[in-house]
Each structure stands twice: as C-alpha cells, then as structure tokens.
Amino acid sequence: MKLLVFAHTPPPHHGQSYMVQLMLNGFGGDHRQSHRSGIAKTSPYGITCYHVNAQVSKQLEDIGNFRPGKLFLLIGFCIQAIWCHFRYGVDTLYFIPAPGKRSALYRDWLVMLLCRPFYKKIILHWHAAGLAKWLETHVQSRARSFTYDRMKDVDMSIVLSKYNRADAEKLLPKQIRVVSNGIPDPCPSFETTVLPRRRARFAARKKLAAGQTLAPADLENTGDDPQTFKVFYLAHCTREKGLFDSIEGVLLANKKLAETNSPLKMQLIAVGNFLDSDEQAEFNRILAALADRQSIRYLGFLSGFQKEAALRDADLFCFPTYYQNENQPVNLIEAMAFGLPILTTRWRSIPELLPKNYNYLVDIRSPQQIAGTLLNCLIGEPPESFREIFLRQFSLEQYLTGLAEAFRSIETTGCLAATSPTLTPALSASSASTPQSQ
C-alpha cells in the first residue's frame, strides 16, 4: 500500500511530531529518499510511505500563530503532495486534522481544497482532542459548514481513544478505528536497574512513615535521600499543562508533612521549556520566595540520557493538565515505561490510559486535591503495575501493527459499509460533549 504522509516531524518536538516520526521509521522511512538514492528500503508492515514534511512552524511558540510566510510554505507542501500522486502513483492521503484553533483550521481547509481532489482515499489521524466541541461553540455556521464540505466523508478516521471518537464522528467518516499511541521501550533494563531502586525507596518510605528508623540494609539501592519523595513534572512549562498546580500541590503537601513532624518531604523536579515569558517570570518569583529552596528544582529541557536518568530517579510523575487540545499524552506513556506512579487529571482521554477506578486522578485546577493525593502516594501503588500497563498496551509494535491494519483495511471492498457510523450531524454534535471534566 502506498501512503502519502502529509505531516511534520521534529523539530519542533512534541507528542504529535514524535509519533509521526515513529510511524515513518517503523514503516521503512520516506520512500522518496529511496527513489533519489537508488537504494531500496523494505517496508515490514506492507506500507510504503512518501513523506511531505509539512513543517510551517520552526519553534513550539510559533505553532498555531498565523504568519503570511506560512501560507506560501503550505501551498508549496500541497504542490509536493500533488506531485507525489502523479510521480509515484500514490492514491491514499494521510493527514492530521487541526485542534480547535482558527489558523490551524484554515490550514486544513487549504490542504483539503488543493489535495483532496487528487487522492482517491483519505485517512485522518486525530492526535489532538476537542475539535468537535470547538466547532459547535466557537465557529460561525458558515465556517462550520465549509469544514464539513472539505473534510466530511473521508475513508477512515483513526482516533487515540473512545473520548476522541466525538471529533471524528463530527465529520461522518466511513470508518473509525481506535489505535493508541505506542513508543519504543525507553527503559529496557527496568527489571535490573530501576525496579530494585523503586522497591527499596518504597519500602524505606513506609518505614519512615511508620516512625521506624532505617537500618543500613534498608538504605541499599535507595540513594542518599530516601526521605525525599521526588515528584517529577515533564512537559511544556505552562499553566494549562499543570506546572503551577503541581507547585502549589507540592508546597501544600510539604506544609502538612511539617505540621505532623514527618521525616518525609517532597521535592518537585520540573523539566521542560517555558513558552510564555510571563509564566517564566512568575515561576522565577515563586522560586525566589521559597523558604526551602530544595522543594522545587528546575532542570530545563532534557533529552536523551539526561531525561532517562531523571525519570529513573523520580518517585512519582505529576501531570495535572487541562491543556485544551490534550488527548493521549506521550509523557504519561513514558512514565509508565519507567514504572512511575502517575498523578494526573480527569481530563479528556487521560482516564482511559489508566486502570478503572484509578485512585490518583484529580479534578483540573485543584492544588488541594493534588496535595492530598501526593500524601496518599507516599506509600501507595508499587511500581510494577505501571510498567505492566506500558508493556501490555503502549508498545511501539502494538502502535505500528494497529496503524498498518487500519490503513490496509480501507483497501478491502465491503468492509467500509459494515463499520460506517450512521450518526446524523445533529447526533454527532450532541456526542461532542462528555461527562468528563472540561
């Protein structure tokens, strides 16, 4: 099967661009390069990709902002896509729809207007969430109608979760498939290098919480600070992603620990880039006012070995996000791979990542709940269960296999009618809202 992948890869680096890169690499890379070099590439999943790297933003801060130069870049990418159709005989277009942002929606209009007439089959892969509700609440009827005209009735929509189906259903595709994200195992040595440390620190905290003294044997594999519960935040350092709620939650939890003369304390370790200068200034003011400077550490942007080392050393992953386009965050999947317990929000698709009745979910914008949950986490879930969730549900092999099966299914005649949703536009609009926190 030949597939024209109209999507950008890093940089800038974020969950969506990373997943596109993993898909391309897993399917044998960009076969346009093979034609140029004369070196044939194998496609282990039977999917031959031709990539148009539709990168219109150089930096994260620029994503979603309009610049005239972006329009010319986008037209150029569309011309590349049309050329690939004629040059390589590609008839299936893979495209990632916009989140609920006007400039991104206009981008989708242009791509579908120029490219869709040349492609027999269209696949939409919904990485962001919230477009369906945004179209109903923030867009005038003419713009909404134009969106339907350009993007409705595609051959397949791929979503990351059940929650995400509402966005796809809004545009009445012929078929919907749920395929969760998956990543390469970032911690293959978990059993030998990470798990012993997690277990030792967990056991040491239980003893300290019970008022017991740690013996020398208890300190093996714990590091030199078993009394410090390391709360790890890894994301863009923004309010919507939950940085400031994490800070307030940790400080409140430390206050309660001090009031009870507990030997335990918490430390927030924040990793990521700031996208807004005002938020960075606010963060710096908070650090400057701290009575205990060790309660919050900022490490900036980390990648590669440094990022892996920070994840290995952490005791819990804290991500109380309410980012408007959040769907299935890759950072939570990475945390599971390192066996980290996760504190996060009841926001959009996130609860589907975790076990039913999971105890460490909080409401959005709720530092008091975060503090209470952090205190419960001190001697809560053992680390093995989170690693097992990753291996069972979010491996790279499962991701690539699920995508390949979904892509190939549209080549089978007759399967579309059997799985086509029968929602009317009115029913589709009502399904855009869910009982989860919004």
Edge-to-edge order in the sheet of strand 48-52 = 48-52, 2-6, 92-95, 121-126, 156-159, 176-178
Do residues 35 and 2 make contact, with C-beta atoms less than 8 angstroms apart?
A: no
Do residues 312 and 338 make contact, with C-beta atoms less than 8 angstroms apart?
A: yes
As a whole number of angstroms, the distance between CA 285 and CA 368 comes to 21
The pLDDT, as a whole number, for residue 379 is 86
| Phi, psi for residue 266 in degrees, rounded to 5 | -115, 150
Do residues 324 and 239 make contact, with C-beta atoms less than 8 angstroms apart?
A: no
- Which uninterrupted H or E stretch holds 244? helix 243-259
- 147 and 56 in a common domain: yes
Helix-strand-coil split of the chain, %, nearest 5: 50, 15, 40
The pLDDT profile of the chain, 438 residues, written as one tens digit per residue, is 999 999 999 988 888 999 999 999 999 999 998 767 666 677 789 999 999 999 886 655 555 565 677 899 999 999 999 999 999 999 999 999 988 888 889 999 999 999 999 999 999 999 999 898 899 999 899 999 999 999 999 999 999 999 999 999 999 999 999 999 999 999 999 999 999 999 999 999 999 999 999 999 999 999 999 999 999 999 999 999 999 999 999 999 999 999 999 999 999 999 999 999 999 999 999 999 999 989 999 999 999 999 999 999 999 999 999 999 899 999 999 999 999 999 999 999 999 999 988 999 999 999 999 999 999 999 886 667 889 999 999 999 999 999 999 999 998 744 444 444 444 333 333 333 333 433
Residue 437: inside a domain:
no
- 239 and 227 in a common domain: yes
Give, as one character, the DSSP assignment of residue 2.
Answer: E
Residue 173: alpha-carbon gap to chain centroid: 24
Residue 435: inside a domain:
no
Residue 436: inside a domain:
no
Residue 77: inside a domain:
yes
- 213 and 166 in a common domain: no
- 168 and 194 in a common domain: no
Do residues 332 and 390 make contact, with C-beta atoms less than 8 angstroms apart?
A: no
Residue 21: inside a domain:
yes
- 419 and 362 in a common domain: no
Residue 272: which domain range? Answer: 190-393
Length of the chain counted residue by residue: 438
As a whole number of angstroms, the distance between CA 70 and CA 56 comes to 5
- 387 and 413 in a common domain: no
The pLDDT, as a whole number, for residue 422 is 40
* CATH number of the domain encompassing residue 47: 3.40.50.2000
Residue 96: inside a domain:
yes
Q: Of 372, 368, 386, nearest to 314 (Cα)?
A: 386
Do residues 312 and 193 make contact, with C-beta atoms less than 8 angstroms apart?
A: yes
As a whole number of angstroms, the distance between CA 258 and CA 264 comes to 9
Residue 438: inside a domain:
no
- 406 and 298 in a common domain: no
> How many domains does the chain contain in total?
2
- 289 and 170 in a common domain: no
- 221 and 147 in a common domain: no
- 404 and 306 in a common domain: no
As a whole number of angstroms, the distance between CA 7 and CA 128 comes to 14
At 154, list the tokens. 């595609």
- 135 and 209 in a common domain: no
- 243 and 131 in a common domain: no
Residue 72: inside a domain:
yes
As a whole number of angstroms, the distance between CA 344 and CA 373 comes to 10
